Amino acid sequence: MMVNRILLLLICVGMLSSCVTTAVVGGATAVSMAHDERTVGQHVDDVAIASKIDALLIAEKEMPSRWVSVEVIENVVWLTGYLPSQQHIDRAVYICRSVKGVRDVKSELHIGEPSTGSLFSDSWITTKVKSSLLEDKVVSGFSIHVETVNGKVYLQGVVKTSEQRYRAKDLTRNVSGVTAIVDLLQVRN
């Protein structure tokens, strides 16, 4: 009898934690959508495409996709990160192109795997850039996705004005450890 109660308690805790996770992730998505310059429909389409691509890459038996980041902006897929070989990169691009709704695929994938130090450094740079964007009064940090690979920072998203685009690049340039900036921002006129 006691074992059944403990099992039931563990199941309930697991269910509650899932609800909290869903609420937090859902809340973050809602906040992101509120500050995004894309239409709600376009944002939803992009998120759906990215989710499908992530699932397909994970399901691929010989695809070590843990170091691959997928970002979709207005049906254009951007791949950043690492894969072990050119064949893996070609396969990842092929998988992306096979997803309904994808207009184009841009690969910034590198051959190899990141060092532990590089992963920590890149994560730190991404955090500092994102913090700068979120604290700024000109740029909405919620509408810009930041990805860092070997110190190279990718700024992706849709902004309202050219001023916001330039400001995002200036803020990024001032972060220690940034070796290059790849501006993939689009201005919504």
pLDDT in tens, 1-38: 444 444 343 344 344 333 333 333 344 444 444 456 66
The C-alpha angle 187, 44, 31, rounded to 5 degrees, equals 75
Edge to edge, what strands does the sheet with 144-149 contain? 144-149, 152-159, 180-187
Residue 70's nearest CA partner among 48, 41, 85 is 48
Q: Is the pLDDT of residue 112 over 70?
A: yes
For residues 154 and 108, what is the distance between their CA atoms, to the nearest angstrom? 10
CA contacts within 13 A on the Cβ side of 43: 18
Residue 101: pLDDT over 60: yes
The pLDDT of residue 134 is 93
Helices (H), the chain: 2-35, 40-59, 86-97, 116-135, 162-173
Query: What digits encode the pLDDT tens for the residues 114-172?
Result: 888 888 999 999 999 999 999 999 997 888 999 999 899 999 888 999 999 999 999 99
pTM above 0.95, yes or no: no
Selection from 169, 178, 170 nearest residue 121 by Cα = 178
- Predicted pLDDT at 180: 93
Task: Write down the pLDDT at residue 102.
Answer: 95
- What percentage of residues in the chain have a pLDDT greater than 90? 50
**pLDDT at position 38:** 65
Measured N-to-C along each axis, helices 162-173 and 116-135 cross at an angle, to the nearest 10 degrees, of: 140
Identify the residue with better confidence: 120 or 189. Answer: 120
Give 52-77 pLDDT, tens digit per residue.
Answer: 999 999 998 888 888 898 989 888 99
DSSP letter assigned to residue 179: -
